[in-house]
Amino acid sequence: MKIVYMGTPDFAVGPLEALIAAGHEIVLVVTQPDRAKGRSDKLIPSPVKAVAMEHNIPVLTPERIKRPEEVEKLRAYPADIFVVAAFGQILSQEILDMPRYGCVNIHASLLPKYRGAAPIQWSILDGDKKTGVTIMQMDAGLDTGDILFVEETQIGKEETGGELFDRLAEIGSNLIVEALSEIEKGNVHPIKQDDTKSTYAKMLTKETGAIDWAEPAEKIERYVRGLNPWPGCYTSLDGAQLKIWKSRVATEEECAQLPKGAQCGAVVKTTKKEIFVACSVGVLVISELQIAGKKRMAAADFLAGRKIADGTVLGA
C-alpha cells in the first residue's frame, strides 16, 4: 500500500520501520518540526524524521497541519491510507477524507479507556492489570473513532512506564502490519466506542512526579514505576530534591515490626539496603534513588555514605 506516515517520538519509530520492512511504500512522512534540545539550542529532528531521512523518504514538518497551505502539500502525495502514531497534532476532516482507506491511528491503550496524551503511564498510575494497543479508524474527535484491531497485554507487577512504552511500541509495530493486510482485503469489522467508558489520559508534567506522602504506599509505588523514566517521582531530603527510582510496598509482616503513628513522609527504619517511609496507608520501601547533583544509585550505596536518622521527614 502507499502510505503517508505521521508520527514524532520514539514510540512511532518501530511501526514506521515495520511498515518499510513489510514492503509498503511510504510516500511521505509528516512529523513535528525540529526542536531545540539541551543548552546548545541546536535544532534536533524528531526520531521519526531521522528514520525517514535514513530511508530517503520525503518529510513535511508543519507547525500546524490544518493550515490550508499544509493541506495542499499533503495532496501532492496521493496515498491509499494515512497511518498515525503519536503525531502530536489533530487532523482536520479534510485530511481524514483524503486517502481511500481513511486514516488509522496506533493508540497505546485499550480504547475507549485512556484517550489523550499519556495512556501508557496512566494505565500504571491507575493500577490497571492489563493494557494494549488499539488500531483505530480516525475521526475528527480525540481518539473517538471506531476500533478496528486490538491486542491486549498484561502489565508486569514491577514494570516501569519506560518498559511498558517499549513493549507497546513493539506490539503496535506488529499489529499495524497485520491490520493493513486485513484492511486491504476488506476484512474489517469496526466497533463503535462506548463514550461512557472513556477516561482522559492527561499530559504529564514535572509536577505530576511530586510525591504526596499522605497518599497510600501502593499508589506512590505505582507512580514511581509509571513515571520512570520521565518525569520521575521526587520528594526532598534536608532541602535537596530526592528522586525515587525504585520502590516497593512493605509487607504486612514488615509493617507489624515498625513503629505506629508516624508522620506521613517520616523515615521509620533504614537497613543496609533500603529506606522505609511512612505513608497514609502502609509503608513505602525505597531501594534506588538520586539526590540532587549526584548520579542515580542503589539505596545501599547512598546509605553507605550518608546516614538518615529515624524520624527524618521527607518532603518537609
Of the pLDDT bands very low, low, confident and very high (cuts 50, 70, 90), residue 41 is confident
Positive or negative, the CA dihedral 143, 146, 151, 154 is positive
User: What does the pLDDT average to over 39-67?
Assistant: 94
List, for residues 1-18, the tens digit of each pLDDT value: 999 999 999 999 999 999
- Comma-separated ranges of CATH 3.10.25.10 domains in the chain: 206-305
User: What does the pLDDT average to over 66-81?
Assistant: 97
Best CA proximity match to 226, nearest among 287, 159, 273: 159
Residue 38 has pLDDT above 80, yes or no: no
Cell of 247: 520502590
Model pTM score: 0.95
Enter the DSSP assignment of 1.
-
Distance between CA 163 and CA 229 in Å, rounded?
9
Phi, psi for 248 (deg, rounded to 5): -150, 170
249 and 285 Cβ atoms separated by less than 8 Å: yes
Cell of 91: 487532523
Lowest-confidence pick of 25-34, 39-48, 56-65, 178-187: 39-48
Superfamily of domain 2-201: Formyl transferase, N-terminal domain (3.40.50.170)
- Mean pLDDT estimate for the chain: 97
Strands (E), 232-271: 233-237, 240-249, 267-270
Best CA proximity match to 109, nearest among 198, 229, 231: 198
List, for residues 243-280, the tens digit of each pLDDT value: 999 999 999 999 999 999 999 999 999 999 999 999 99
Phi, psi for 89 (deg, rounded to 5): -140, 150
Best CA proximity match to 204, nearest among 246, 169, 233, 240: 233
For 27-54, the DSSP string reads EEEE-PPPEEETTTTEEE--HHHHHHHH
Of the pLDDT bands very low, low, confident and very high (cuts 50, 70, 90), residue 210 is very high
Indicate left, alpha or beta for 188 from its phi (over 0: left) and psi (-120 to 50: alpha). Answer: beta
CATH number for the domain formed by residue range(s) 206-305: 3.10.25.10
